[in-house]
Amino acid sequence: QQLRGVSSRTIGVILDTMNLPVMSQRLFALETEASRRGYRLLVGRTHGDDGTLREYVSDFAGRGVEAILSLFDLHPGRDERVRPCFGSYRSVVFHGRPAWPGGYCVRVDTENAIRRCVEHFAARGRKRLALSVGNFGNDELMVLRQKVFARSVAEFGVTGVVWNSESEATMPSPEILERGVAYMVGECRSDAILASNDVWATRFILELQKRARKVPGEVAVIGYDNLDIASVVSPALTTIDQNHQEYAAAALELLLAISAGRRIPLARRVVTIPPQLIIRESA
């Protein structure tokens, strides 16, 4: 088919091996959208390994993949390392930001998400907010969350503290949870916690309950990602939904436009997806 110039109707997707629950949700939405348009996906996984990334790009190109979606964060400095991995291949849509000027990307509006959470807490009378982040020094996304959190607490007239777990662990240890709750609720007397994701949020709820703290009576909790666990924990978790369906539709639209050779104006090469605040009992 490739020799005859027939479309392979195949999209390549490179996932990050970190935060697999979110990646799985996003990948499912992408597969559903691709199938609806008559395309299939080839999927690879890597985490910061440029050699593996280079191998996937080469393999995808050899299989006639029409365009590639890179679903990993480009932390500071990594974009420079990533560029050579794609060689002259430019049919790429990135997550968060493009790896080169004039490139394509789809991003979720993190600024909007954090601001809405702070606004929600403040509207319900919470005065002392805490933001839980992980590995603050090396994670650009966590840096952004902290900056938006600081601006938002000032905007809505409440106070805020940031607790850095200094951990990238998907599943926090009991010791880390104890330390976090002791600082945020014990020392800083926070009456609301904005967790880095739903897994950490549900563990914070369990730790608070173990300490006989009522959720949301004494401490409200908001998570991030709207995983399945958010709706089954007690109390059910208020959380940010990253709107994977709209993300998938936008990504496929860009990918197929690139593969068709259509010229896309610079202003439309970066697509921002609005998140949704899903309100449940925990806040």
Bigger pLDDT: 74 vs 179: 179
Both structure tokens of 50: 């440029």
Q: What share of the chain is helix, strand, coil (3-state, %, to 5)?
A: 40, 20, 40
Neighbours of 181 (CB within 10 A): 24
The residue length of the chain stands at: 283
Rg of the chain on CA atoms, in Å: 20
Bigger pLDDT: 104 vs 137: 104
Q: Residue 140 has what pLDDT?
A: 78
Q: Residue 25 has what pLDDT?
A: 93
Nearest partner of 219 among 200, 248, 192, 255, judged by Cα: 192
pLDDT over 90 at 171, yes or no: no
Residues 19-73 pLDDT 10s:
788 989 999 999 999 999 999 999 999 887 889 999 999 999 888 899 999 998 8
Contact 132, 163 (CB under 8 A): yes
Q: Residue 277 has what pLDDT?
A: 98
Helix (H, G, I), strand (E, B), or coil: what is residue 107?
A: strand
C-alpha to C-alpha distance for 184 and 188, rounded to whole angstroms: 5
Contact 116, 94 (CB under 8 A): no
Q: pLDDT-based confidence at 138, cuts 50/70/90?
A: low
Nearest partner of 68 among 51, 82, 78, judged by Cα: 82
Q: Residue 137 has what pLDDT?
A: 52
Residues 94-107 pLDDT 10s:
999 999 999 999 99
Q: Residue 67 has what pLDDT?
A: 94
Alpha helices in the chain (DSSP H): 20-36, 50-62, 78-86, 110-123, 140-155, 174-181, 198-210, 229-232, 244-259
pLDDT over 60 at 4, yes or no: no
Q: Residue 72 has what pLDDT?
A: 86
Question: What pTM does this model have?
Answer: 0.91
Q: Residue 116 has what pLDDT?
A: 98
CA angle centred on 224, ends 100 and 43, rounded to 5°:
50
* β-bridge pairing 104-108 and 270-273: parallel
pLDDT over 60 at 220, yes or no: yes
Q: Residue 40 has what pLDDT?
A: 95
